[in-house]
């Protein structure tokens, strides 16, 4: 089923980690909003690290775009104009590498109920997915996973923290 094919992708990604080691120093760059680490760098069962993503990109058409996070306004799922160029880079990369899969992680800030926020995070990731498919990316390359408010990138009850948490992360 879908989970087993995902597991294979995971296994492949981890084997690349072993081969590529941690030689890359630029693999965890994220958005331009100050000091955030890539959402791809989770432990345990989640997907590959930034270093693996970098390694994965070797031998393919170009590099995975280094900016892998786009941000959203409160209670909105519309793509902000300033992030269209980021999405266009990912679209170009994915078109050039039709066998590459990416998970679009949807996130929200902490306000509101958790289960409703799962829905909001999914809506944001779907907006990115829709944008990419309009740009010619094959939908089968894209998977949406919403984390809602469960994995904040920044803690605290400030507008700055909220703004950093309302995001979609490309997890290659």
Partner 1 sequence: MRRLVALTGMLMMLVASAYARAELNIQITRSSDQAIPIAIAPFTANGQQLPQDVSQIIENDLRNSGQFSPLPRDRQVGNPAPGDQIDYQAWQASRANYLVVGRVEPNGNGYRITYELHDVFGNARELGEVVTSGPDQLRSRAHYVADQIFEKITGIRGAFQTRIAYITSQGVDPNISFALYVADQDGYNPQQVLTSNQPVLSPTWSPDGGKLAYVSFESGRPAIYVQDLATGRRLQLTSFTGINGAPAWSPDGRKMAMSLSKDGTPDIYVMDLATRNLERLTNNSAINTEPDYSPDGSSLIFTSDRSGQPQLYRYDFAAGQAQRLTFTGNYNAGGHYSPDGETVFMVTRTDRGYQVAKQDLATNRVTVLTDTGWDEAPAIAPNGTMVVYATQQGTRGVLGAVSADGRASFVIPSPEGNVREPAWSPFLN
156 forms part of the interface with partner 1 (CB under 8 A): yes
Least gap, CB of 61 to partner 1 (angstroms): 27
Q: Interaction with partner 1 in 30-89: which residues (CB under 8 A)?
A: 37-39, 41-47
Which region, left, alpha or beta, applies to residue 42 given φ > 0 means left and ψ of -120 to 50 means alpha?
beta
- Nearest approach in angstroms of CB 24 to partner 1 is 17
Cβ atoms of residues 123 and 106 within 8 Å: yes
Q: Which is nearer to partner 1, 58 or 113 (CB)?
A: 113
Q: Give the residue from 79, 80, 82, 152 showing the smallest Cα distance to 117.
A: 152
Interface map 85-114 toward partner 1 (x if CB under 8 A): --------------------------xxxx
Contact 98, 132 (CB under 8 A): no
- Residue nearer to partner 1 on the CB measure, 3 or 78: 3
Q: Which residue has the tokens 């880079």?
A: 89
120 contributes a contact to partner 1 by CB under 8 A = yes
User: Measured between alpha carbons, how far is residue 156 from residues 63, 76, 140 in Å?
Assistant: 34, 21, 37
Among 17, 92, 118, 163, binds partner 1 (CB under 8 A): 118
How far apart are the C-alpha atoms of 71 and 92, rounded to whole Å? Answer: 20
Residues 145, 170: contact at Cβ < 8 Å?
no
123 contacts partner 1 (rule: CB under 8 A)? yes
The verdict on 10 binding partner 1 (CB under 8 A) reads: yes
Q: Per rule CB under 8 A, is residue 155 in the interface with partner 1?
A: yes
């Amino acid at each position: 089923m879908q989970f087993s094919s995902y597991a294979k992708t995971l296994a492949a990604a981890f084997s690349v980690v072993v081969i590529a080691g941690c030689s890359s120093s630029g693999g965890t760059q994220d958005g331009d909003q100050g000091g955030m680490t890539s959402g791809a760098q989770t432990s345990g069962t989640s997907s590959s690290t930034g270093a693996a993503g970098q390694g994965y990109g070797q031998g393919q058409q170009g590099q995975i775009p280094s900016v892998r996070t786009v941000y959203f306004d409160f209670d909105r799922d519309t793509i902000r104009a300033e992030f269209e160029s980021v999405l266009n880079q990912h679209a170009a990369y994915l078109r050039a590498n039709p066998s590459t899969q990416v998970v679009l992680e949807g996130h929200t800030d902490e306000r509101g109920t958790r289960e409703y926020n799962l829905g909001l995070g999914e809506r944001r990731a779907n907006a990115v997915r829709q944008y990419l498919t309009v740009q010619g990316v094959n939908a089968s390359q894209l998977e949406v996973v919403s984390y809602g408010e469960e994995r904040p990138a920044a803690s605290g009850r400030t507008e700055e923290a909220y703004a950093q948490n309302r995001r979609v992360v490309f997890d290659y």
